[in-house]
Amino acid sequence: MPSEEIQEIVDRIASKLQRSVIIDDPNVKLLYSSAHFGDEDPVRVDAILKRRANSKAIGHVLAQGVASWPRAGVIPSNAELGMQARICVPVRWRGELLALIMVMDPDGSFTMAEMAEISGIAEQVAPLLADELSVADETSEQAVLDLVSQEPTVRRRALTEVASTRTAEDFALVTAIWLAIPETSSDASQAHVNVAMRSAFTLPTPVGVRRQLAAVDKRTAVLLLGSAKPVKVRAHAERMLTRVHDLSSGRFRAVAGIGPAVTGLDRAFETAELAALASRATDAGLKGSTTTWEELGPYGPLMRIPHDQLGPRALPAEVQRLLEVDGDRQLAVTLRAFLDAGGSAPTASAALNIHRTTLYYRLSRIEELTGYDLSDGRVRLTMHLGLTLMDLLPDVRHM
C-alpha cells in the first residue's frame, strides 16, 4: 500500500518549489506524484494517466546512467519524445537504489539551494520506501538462478527453498525464456541492462500462465513460466525484446531463446539450458531475434560446442581438405546445396540456379581434388555436418 507519509512529503515539497514532483521506482514506474504546476509535458501527463511513461521515454532516462548516479543530476530534454528537462535525484538505502525523484525543470532554473532541498527529501523518504518495499517476492532471484544451475546440489537447495512456499504448485509445466545481451552490445552499463530486463518481466504473462519466476545475471536473464498445460510463449518473448529495445535507447540489443516445456521445477534447468542455447543461435545469426529449441534442428547439438572451441580445427578433416582446395568456396556451396537437398540433383541445381550438368561436374571435381567418394554415406554425413558447422564460423566461411 502507498505510504500516506511519503505522499505528504511529495505534496509538501512540490508546493514549496511550485514544481511537479514524482517518485519512480528503479524501472521508472510511477510510485508517487504531486499536483501539476503548469510545468507538465506530454511524457509527464502520460505517466500520470498510465502510471508509467512510455518505453522510449524511460529508455532516454535510463540512457543517462541514472541507475548508477551517486547524486542529483539533470535529465536533458528530448524534443522527439516531447520531453522537457527534469532534475533526477536517486533515493538509496544502504547503497541500494530504491527510487528516483523527478522534478520538472524545463527552463533550467533549478537552484543549488533547491537541489540541496530535494536531495534532503531523498534522504527523508529512503527509510520509508525501504519499509514499504521490504515485502519481497516469495522466491529470491538467487533461488531462481540456483533452480537452473547445472550443479545438482545447488538445485536441490533451491528446490528446498521453493518448497517452503506454495510456488511449486503452479509449475506443473515449466517453460523457460532466456534473454541475452550479445557481447557486441557493449555501450551500456550493467545497471541500464538490469533495469531494461527487469522491466520486461513486468509485462502481462501469456494466457494459461499461472505464475512466473525471473532473475537477471549480468547480461542474461531467465524467465520461468508455470502452467498446467502447454502455453504459447513466442509472442511474449518478442514483446519482452521490444520492451528491452525501447528501454535500451539504442545502446544495446537483446536476443531470446525459448526452451521446451518440462514437468516440474526440478527439471527447470533443462528447459533453461535449451533456451540459453537457442538464444546463442539467434546471437550467431542462425535464426531471427527469437527462436525455440525445437526450431534449431541440426544446429541444436552443434550449439553445445563451447564457444572457445569453435574454429577451423573444429571442422572434420574432410571439410578442412575441401576448403584447402576451394579458394572461392564455390565447391563448398555446391556440395552444401546438394546435401541439403538430400542428394537430389534437380533440387540442388534449381537452388543454385545452375544446369544439372554443371552440378555433376562440380561434384566430380570435389571427389577429384579431395580424394573422397561422395557416394559413401559416412563421407556425406561428415561433409554435411562440417559444412553445417561452418554456419557458426563466419570467419572461416568468408575467408
Q: What is the 3-state secondary structure (H, E, C) of 287-356?
A: CCCEEECHHHCCHHHHCCCCHHHCCHHHCCHHHHHHHHHCCCCHHHHHHHHHHHCCCCHHHHHHHHCCCH
Higher per-residue confidence, 213 vs 54: 213
Q: Where are the domains of the chain?
A: 4-132, 141-302, 307-397
Domain 307-397, CATH 1.10.10.2840 — does that match? Answer: yes
List, for residues 136-163, the tens digit of each pLDDT value. 445 688 999 999 999 999 999 999 888 7
Class of the CATH domain delimited by 141-302: alpha beta
Question: Has residue 184 got a pLDDT over 70?
Answer: no
Residue whose C-alpha is closest to residue 31's, from 110, 119, 125: 125
Judge whether 171 and 246 are in contact, CB under 8 Å: no
Is there a contact between 219 and 164 (Cβ–Cβ < 8 Å)? no
As a whole number, mean pLDDT of residues 160-171 equals 82
pLDDT at 319 exceeding the cut of 70: yes
Report the pLDDT averaged over residues 42-71: 84
pLDDT at 264: 93
**Residues of the chain with pLDDT > 90: what percent?**
57
Q: What is the pLDDT of residue 139?
A: 63
Do 4-132 and 141-302 agree at the fold level?
A: no
pTM for this prediction: 0.74
Size of the chain, expressed as the number of residues it contains: 399
CA angle 44, 202, 31 (to 5 degrees): 40
pLDDT tens, 1-52? 567 899 999 999 999 999 999 999 888 888 899 988 888 888 888 877 776 7
Confidence tier at 186 by pLDDT (50, 70, 90) = low
DSSP three-state, residue 21:
strand
Q: What is the pLDDT of residue 288?
A: 82
Answer whether residue 135 shows pLDDT above 50.
Answer: no
**Is 4-132 a CATH 3.30.450.40 domain?**
yes
